[in-house]
Amino acid sequence: MTQRPTPRTRFAILGVLAMRPMSGTEIRRWLDDRIGNFWRESSGQLYPTLSTLTTQKLVRCSTRTGNVGRGRPGSEYAITAAGRSALAQWLAEPVTAEPRRIELLLKLFLSSNQSAHSLEHLARCRDEQRRLLSQYASIERELDQWADERPAETAKFRATVRYGVRVAEALLMWTDEAKELLTKAAAAEAALGHREIA
């Protein structure tokens, strides 16, 4: 099932195009590689959103010579003055609070005494955070190479990567704490002979 685009999908694309004109494939790569650690967009919404932005004259589509990749070879998208104005207006608006829907916490809360499953979920979460930290370290090494040539752009990227690093580090500490809490609780329940809380 294709994820429905949010109103912010258009601004994510406009923001990427504000850096420079790109093909659809290049936009997809930027969304995945540069901001994917904190903002995900559905692949199936890229071209429909670009089409809408083009119709609204916020983006201009032109033909680029040479092969630029799969999907829409030859098409290059550039932000227009109206697109920059719309992006600037959105950037100035207050940030909308995101609803919290964390499946891991829901499963931990509803798991009753099924601590084996909970411990498995925590172990997978811990592995994922370690993987992310390794990925972020690789990105930061790449940013180190740009720092002198593009200090402002590098600072923006580094700030978002450091957010990911801090969240991953916090989740690593939390998984240890949660594992200890659940393990102690399971031992206490076993000692009391209780199966579940009524």
**Amino acid symbol at 156:** K
| pLDDT of the residue at 3 | 44
Using CA atoms, how far residue 189 sits from 118, 176, 183, in Å, is: 16, 20, 10
List C-alpha distances in Å: 123 to 35, 167, 186. 26, 16, 17
Residues 1 and 44 sit within 8 Å (Cβ to Cβ) = no
Residue 77 pairs with which residues in a beta bridge? 22, 61
H or E stretch at 89: helix 81-92
pTM: 0.73
Q: Which contacts qualify for 48-52: CB closer than 8 Å, 24 or more apart?
A: 48/5, 49/5, 49/9, 49/10, 49/13, 50/13, 50/24, 50/77, 52/10
**How many C-beta atoms surround the C-beta of residue 72 within 10 A?**
18
Mean per-residue pLDDT over the chain, rounded = 86
Tens of pLDDT, residues 118-151: 999 999 999 999 999 999 999 999 889 988 888 8
For residue 29, the one-letter residue type is R
**CATH architecture label of 7-92:** Orthogonal Bundle (1.10)
Give the tens place of pLDDT for each residue, 171-189.
999 999 999 998 888 888 7
Neighbours of 163 (CB within 10 A): 13
